[in-house]
Chain A
Amino acid sequence: MREITYAEAIREALRQEMQRDPHVFLMGEDIGVYGGAFGVTLGLLEEFGPERVRDTPISEGVIAGAAAGAALTGMRPVAEIMFMDFTTLAMEQLVNQAAKTRYMFGGKAKVPMVLRTPAGSGTGAAAQHSQSLEAWFVHVPGLKVVMPSTPYDAKGLLISAIRDDNPVIFVEQKLLYRTKGPVPEEPYTVPLSVAEVKRAGRDVTIIATGVMVVRSLAAAAKLAQEGIEVEVVDPRTLKPYDAETITKSVIKTGRVLIVHEAYKTCGFGAEIAAMISEGPAFMYLNAPIRRLAGLDIPIPYNRTLEYHAVPQEENIITAVRELMAYK
């Protein structure tokens, strides 16, 4: 199969959905000639024109809020917030307006919008351009949260997100934009709320999100050489998430490592650990549930500090070995 990058896969999903459905349109800062800060929307302005690829002023609140308003009245907007850090400025519109509309109005309205935003550290962009704030959105009923780790998933999940009738926060990974993988040329969907076992194994279950899936798979390949077989589960959708696939895996392995880049305290991993503890897999655990996450600090600028602020492959390897010490 043809290989394309994560960024190209997202662009292809946008293009194909815009071709299929005239209600789909894009808006955000510098998404036109500039192609977005990471070049994801390059060429779409030329193809679809300025009415459907709309550059906005720097106004995150109205980008999110107007997307919700347009969605409420029959359009399918895909809004872009240039860095996840700036979703903080769109929070009111997403959390109080977009997320609540359907339930609050007795199920008589719907808000089929997508908000795309790149997250993560590793680019030297420091404290205000490096955050992973997905857990904030996971906390809000009415929002869906998607976080792909491969080009294949990025395309299929984005198409599903656009076709979904709810507000979806689509969290992209800066560090994955240039990674390549096989992606079918024709449109296809990857269902929301379905996890995927990215590697099968019997000894330890790693539940990882986003760029940490890639690091976990790299760690798993090395650990296999020591005879440790790691199973890597990627939830792909963080809200509503697929508890069943995770539970099944934990029952099989009895050891759990949860890895994400976001802060540890009240991160997505806390939810997963709690879900496992409350559920049928708890009785099968051979070791305490372990979380590897970003340190509870703003992302530092210095390259070495930045590296140590979030989990790396070697930290994952060490944590798995420690879990294996429990018999």
Chain B
Amino acid sequence: MDGAGQLTKEKLIDMLRKMHTIRAFEEKADQLFALGKVHGTMHLSIGMEATAVGAIAALRPDDYITSTHRGHGHCIAKGGDVKLMMAEFLGKETGYCRGRGGSMHIADVESGNLGATGVVGGGIPTAVGAALSVQLRKTGQVVLCFFGDGAANMGIFHESLNLAAIWKLPVVFVCENNQYAMSMPVARAFPIENIADRAAAYAMPGKVVDGNDVLAVYAAVAEAVDRARAGEGPSLIECKTYRWKGHSKSDQERYRTREEVAAWKKKDPIARFEAYLLQEGLLTEEQRQAIAKEAQERIEEAVAFAESSPEPRVEEISEGVYA
């Protein structure tokens, strides 16, 4: 691991804290689901925490992101409030979307999270549009666009990259390649080895990084963000990672082996970052335990907040369709 050079110790610890918070949030979400407290579906990013945290660490607080159906990590990394997220997950009026959106549609527009979409690839043109707005308003912001490997086979992916490239828009496309789109392995869905190779068709830099190495993700995205902010246009970064859990709640996982999952679990991005920080003397074992414990406590508080929050009122069901 390297690339930590430009990051302060505080920032590194904050990144670790966020990774733990994401893990704790999602483990709790999984548990609440198993207890039957949640109606609907959800997509967990356990095992992929380094991509969300590493990429967003390269942003300014006023920069934008667009998220995906697997978006809890993006929201937390961008500074989202886990209480409001948990309330949304439980469908409560106090949630980010007043209980109307749920796990798949968390948006925190105030923190620059332009929201999670349930339509694969649906957020890619939104990011391009936000980048166009940034260019027109001359605000110097950058837009980070998250999407999965599966989304890179949507027509809109190609339209979006092309438009961003010809207009030199300040957007960074971050592909979270977790090896599968539901049951479809990347090897069957793509005739190419690296999704980042598609950048060549749009004359933008394309880079492959180890998506389980939070600092490598950070370094690659930071370079692309600098480029975007300097007016030099978009980049495509492919983070190779893995989702530990099933695609959604109803996945029998018939398309992969336990051995494969176990092998990837050995590459746990959190354990790896901790080992690095411990080795570099940036973290003590005591601090490590405290951070993990604190993350769980924050999630317990979030659950308590969500569970004691009111349900949306049926009389208000038709509110908010129009501005």
Chain A residues packing against B (C-beta within 8 Å):
29-30, 32-34, 37, 55, 57-59, 61-62, 85-86, 89, 123-129, 295-298, 300-306, 308-309
Contact = CB atoms under 8 A, between A and B. Distances in A.
A29 B182 contact: yes
Contacts of B92: 302
B41 to A, nearest CB: 6
B181 interface: yes
B184 A57 contact: yes
Contacts of A129: 41, 104, 118
Interface centre among A33, A34, A295, A308 (most CB of B within 10 A): A34
Nearest to B321: A297
B287 interface: no
A57 B117 CA distance: 19
Interface of B: 38-41, 88, 91-92, 97, 99-102, 104-105, 117-122, 150-151, 153-155, 181-184, 188-190, 250-252, 254-255, 311-312, 314, 317-318, 321
B183 A124 contact: no
A262 B39 CA distance: 21
B91 A303 contact: yes
Contacts of B154: 58-59, 89
A98 B175 CA distance: 33
Contacts of A128: 104-105, 117-119, 122
29 contacts: A30-B183, A30-B184, A32-B183, A34-B182, A34-B252, A34-B254, A37-B182, A55-B184, A57-B189, A58-B151, A61-B155, A62-B155, A85-B118, A89-B119, A124-B102, A128-B122, A295-B317, A297-B317, A297-B321, A300-B99, A301-B40, A301-B100, A301-B101, A301-B102, A302-B102, A302-B312, A303-B39, A303-B91, A308-B317
Contact of A301 (B105, B122, B181): B105
A302 B100 contact: yes
A61 to B, nearest CB: 5
A81 B122 CA distance: 16
A295 B314 contact: no
Contact of B99 (A29, A302, A309): A302
Contacts of B252: 34
A29 B251 CA distance: 14
Nearest to A128: B118
Contacts of B318: 295-297
Given A58-B120, A58-B181, A124-B102, A305 B255 contact: no
Contact of A304 (B105, B118, B121, B311): B311
B11 to A, nearest CB: 35
Contacts of B99: 300-302, 305
B79 to A, nearest CB: 23
Given A57-B150, A58-B150, A302 B91 contact: yes
Nearest to B251: A34
Nearest to B184: A55
B40 A127 contact: no
A57 B190 CA distance: 8
A308 B105 CA distance: 20
A30 B119 contact: no
B105 A57 contact: no
A143 to B, nearest CB: 22
A89 B118 CA distance: 13
B119 A85 contact: yes
A300 B311 CA distance: 12
Interface centre among A30, A297, A301, A304 (most CB of B within 10 A): A301
Nearest to A55: B184
A86 B100 contact: no
A51 to B, nearest CB: 14
B312 A300 contact: yes
Nearest to A301: B102
Q: Which 8 A-B pairs have the closest CB atoms?
A: A124-B40, A301-B102, A57-B153, A302-B91, A34-B183, A124-B39, A128-B118, A302-B99
Contacts of B40: 123-126, 301
B104 A300 contact: no
Contacts of A127: 100-101, 105, 118
Contacts of B120: 58
A58 B56 CA distance: 26
B155 A59 contact: yes
Given A37-B182, A126-B102, 13 more contacts: A58-B181, A59-B153, A59-B154, A124-B38, A126-B118, A127-B101, A129-B104, A129-B118, A300-B99, A303-B39, A303-B91, A304-B311, A304-B312
B119 A86 contact: yes
A83 to B, nearest CB: 9
A33 to B, nearest CB: 5
A176 to B, nearest CB: 17
Contacts of B317: 295, 297, 300, 305, 308-309
Nearest to A126: B102
A55 B41 contact: no
A129 B104 CA distance: 10
Contacts of A125: 40-41, 104, 118
A5 B41 CA distance: 23
A306 B40 CA distance: 11
A312 to B, nearest CB: 12
